[in-house]
Amino acid sequence: MLQSPCSGKMPVYEYICDSCHQIVSSYRQRFAVAAPSCPRCGSNELRRIFSVFSVQRTYTDVYEDILSDRQLTQGMMRNDPRALAEWSRRMSSGEKSPPEYEELTERMEKGEWPSGQIEEKREELFGQERGKPESD
């Protein structure tokens, strides 16, 4: 069963890493307990931030919510890019996504399959065309 890191526990405090600016959510039984280290860069320079009240949901809760949405599941069965974009947004649960991912999701919300853009990004990252190894 997949669960969020603070699933069902309170209080959850949020911190921001002064080194890499990652926002970190952490369950703390007492406020006096030292701040956690950053999971991204390992820095101990985390500062507590104030956040809005929210209810933590497990990934299972989010997934079950998606499966109960008949319109969304039917769209995914028809390979509708808008449905895939909605599924992706729900699964991210408000987490910040890289700009490239946001751009792909926005295109899918408009009904476009960004397959050409995916291929271009893959070539940019790996420096080779599909099926053709790089020559020495």
pTM of the model: 0.46
133 pLDDT above the threshold of 60: no
What are the pLDDT digits (tens) for 116-125?
766 776 677 6
Query: What does the alpha-carbon distance between residue 110 and residue 123 come to, in Å, rounded to a whole number?
Result: 24
Contact 98, 125 (CB under 8 A): no
Q: What is the pLDDT of residues 38-89, one digit of tens each?
A: 999 999 999 988 876 666 678 788 888 888 999 999 998 998 999 989 988 8
Please report, for residues 60, 62, 111, the alpha-carbon distance to residue 3 in angstroms, rounded to integers and kept in the order given: 7, 10, 31
pLDDT band at 95 (very low <50, low <70, confident <90, very high): confident
